[in-house]
A = this chain, B = another copy of it.
Amino acid sequence: MNMTRSNIQPQSISGFPEWLPEEKIIEQKMIDIIRAAYEKFGFSPIETAAVEKVDILRAKGGNDKEIYCLSRLAGAEEGEDGKELALHFDLTVPLARYVAQNYSNLPFPFRRYQIQKVWRGERPQSGRFREFYQCDIDIIGDGELSLLSDAEIPSIIYSIFKQMDIGPFVININNRKIIQGYLNFLGIPDSDVANVLRTIDKIEKVGVDKVVSELVNSLGFSEEKVKPLIDLISLDTSSTPDVINELRQMKVNDKFSEGVDELAKVLKYMGDLGVPDDYYKINISIARGLDYYTGTVYETILKNHPGIGSVCSGGRFDNLAGYFTDKKLPGVGISIGLTRLFSKLIKAEVIKAGPSTSAPVLVTVMDPSCMNLYFKVATLLRDGGINTEVFLENKKIGIQLKFANRKGFALAVIAGSNEVESGNVQLKNLKTGEQYTVSVSELVPKVSEILSSLKKQGLWV
């Protein structure tokens, strides 16, 4: 109302990614794979509001600088001071609030998946966004939760990344009790444990020397404590049974042994669940920086793209919602940072944008007076489960086929008044150039046949 025409520059905002249709189709396909896998393992969907009360978001330690508050552009109501409502920055805090709030209406163990955008006012950089998708699952127990859940989670990770077909990957798995027990054994006080874990966690990124130097110089540890710690986290873990045996023989303390036992059990069940040996690895250095993990932890690395970092992380926590309820709610879960993963894979050309349409067939219009035929053919294809667009503009057939190729359709239906009379149409395979005369009644099976052959050749998605 208060702007004149054509003087506003249309542009995206840094850190708020958007995609062209041919990219969005692929991102959507990845989301569909994740969702299907979550449902396959019996997780139910929930969706929480994008907006939470600021109190809720700060309860578990959100970073104020990264929290986006809401205020009305004009006419705030009484009591609104613009610091009450804010966008969620993850899906874990909202889950905790939701579970506490709906406790009596939820069946436990409660398995939920949640695929939503979250917002963080971080400085945007490559692969770090201010608005991005998280795809989370968690299994929440009421009072207790069996270790079997810890084993099921990696089998879901395996199922997802296998199906995504983005190259080999390995699920790094550890149990925080191992390293925590060892730190206790070394006499490192509980108050320092979190700092040490955060430092150790960086070992794959920054290397052993930097970690040693940080432990000695910044955290003030003696060399004689640091050496055995580094030895532990550098254990050769290429053979899972060997490393479990080695850890068992160490007999450090109860906490350590508990961690080793839990890890061994989880690994055994993962085998029962069909996760192949070469898709997981014990990695004693991973601890996940977040304070709330208390047992099993996971990180997932794409072997050909270790620089992307972990593409799916999570773990076990003792108590989900202590800030909101007195009920003890232990859980285990993971999160896939989809926007980051997708943007990195597109950049690395691991995935490439394909057609900008999810319809394989374009019905062209040679003779506008036969429009009712074209519409009938389209309806026939759609009823046969084949997504179909009709070219509705009055353009020459050459322009229509150019459009079809640009959008990436697999097939074009071409028919003039002659064909109409004979009950046939021309079906053009736009990927191979082949052209067939097909009777209208045979169109659906013929299109299906060509599409499955194109799929086999990698020429259709």
- In the complex, whether A416 has a CB less than 8 A from a CB of chain B is no
Within the complex, the shortest CB–CB distance from A112 to chain B, in Å, comes to: 7
Using A49-B131, A69-B70, A356-B107 as known contacts, say yes or no to A325 and B10 having CB atoms under 8 A apart.
yes
Docked-complex contact A72 and B61, CB < 8 angstroms: no
Docked-complex contact A68 and B64, CB < 8 angstroms: no
Q: In the assembled complex, which residues on chain B have CB atoms less than 8 Å from the CB atom of A3?
A: 55, 58-59, 323
Within the complex, the shortest CB–CB distance from A399 to chain B, in Å, comes to: 11
- In the complex, whether A379 has a CB less than 8 A from a CB of chain B is yes
- Residues in A27-67 with C-beta less than 8 Å from chain B: 28, 39-42, 44-56, 58-59, 61, 64-67
Using A87-B70, A272-B371, A394-B146 as known contacts, say yes or no to A25 and B42 having CB atoms under 8 A apart.
no
How many residues of chain A have a CB within 8 Å of chain B? 115
- Residues in A359-386 with C-beta less than 8 Å from chain B: 359, 362, 371-372, 375-376, 379, 382
- In the complex, whether A387 has a CB less than 8 A from a CB of chain B is yes
Question: For the complex, what is the distance from the CA of A70 to the CA of B74, rounded to whole Å?
Answer: 13
Docked-complex contact B145 and A393, CB < 8 angstroms: yes
Docked-complex contact B39 and A387, CB < 8 angstroms: yes
Q: In the assembled complex, which residues on chain B have CB atoms less than 8 Å from the CB atom of A105?
A: 20
- In the complex, whether A388 has a CB less than 8 A from a CB of chain B is yes
Which chain B residue shows the least CB distance to A98? B18
Docked-complex contact A393 and B109, CB < 8 angstroms: yes
- Residues in A263-313 with C-beta less than 8 Å from chain B: 269, 272-274
State the number of copies, please.
Answer: 2
Question: For the complex, what is the distance from the CA of A363 to the CA of B316, rounded to whole Å?
Answer: 23
Q: In the assembled complex, which residues on chain B have CB atoms less than 8 Å from the CB atom of A45?
A: 21, 24-25, 28, 358
- In the complex, whether A8 has a CB less than 8 A from a CB of chain B is yes
Q: In the assembled complex, which residues on chain B have CB atoms less than 8 Å from the CB atom of A146?
A: 392-394
- Residue of A3, A21, A71, A112 with highest tally of chain B CB at under 10 A: A21
- In the complex, whether A337 has a CB less than 8 A from a CB of chain B is no
Docked-complex contact B389 and A111, CB < 8 angstroms: yes
Within the complex, the shortest CB–CB distance from A351 to chain B, in Å, comes to: 16
Docked-complex contact B72 and A117, CB < 8 angstroms: no
Using A21-B46, A28-B45, A371-B269 as known contacts, say yes or no to A40 and B75 having CB atoms under 8 A apart.
no
Which chain B residue shows the least CB distance to A327? B6
- In the complex, whether A149 has a CB less than 8 A from a CB of chain B is yes
Docked-complex contact A356 and B323, CB < 8 angstroms: no
Docked-complex contact A56 and B8, CB < 8 angstroms: yes
Which chain B residue shows the least CB distance to A385? B40
1/0 per residue, CB under 8 A from B, across A1-30: the answer is 111011111111100111111001100100
Since A41-B389, A107-B356 are in contact, a sample of 14 more A-B pairs with Cβ atoms closer than 8 Å, ordered by chain A residue number, is A6-B325, A10-B97, A10-B98, A10-B101, A19-B46, A21-B106, A24-B44, A40-B359, A44-B358, A67-B74, A69-B70, A141-B393, A144-B393, A152-B390
Please, could you name 9 A-B residue pairs with CB atoms under 8 Å apart, sorted by A? A3-B55, A10-B324, A13-B52, A24-B47, A25-B45, A65-B72, A69-B73, A139-B392, A148-B371
Q: Which A residues are within 8 Å of any B CB, using their own CB?
A: 1-3, 5-13, 16-21, 24-25, 28, 39-42, 44-56, 58-59, 61, 64-75, 82-83, 85-87, 96-98, 100-102, 105-107, 109, 111-112, 117, 119, 121, 130-131, 139, 141, 144-146, 148-149, 152, 159, 269, 272-274, 321-326, 356-359, 362, 371-372, 375-376, 379, 382, 387-390, 392-394, 403, 406-407
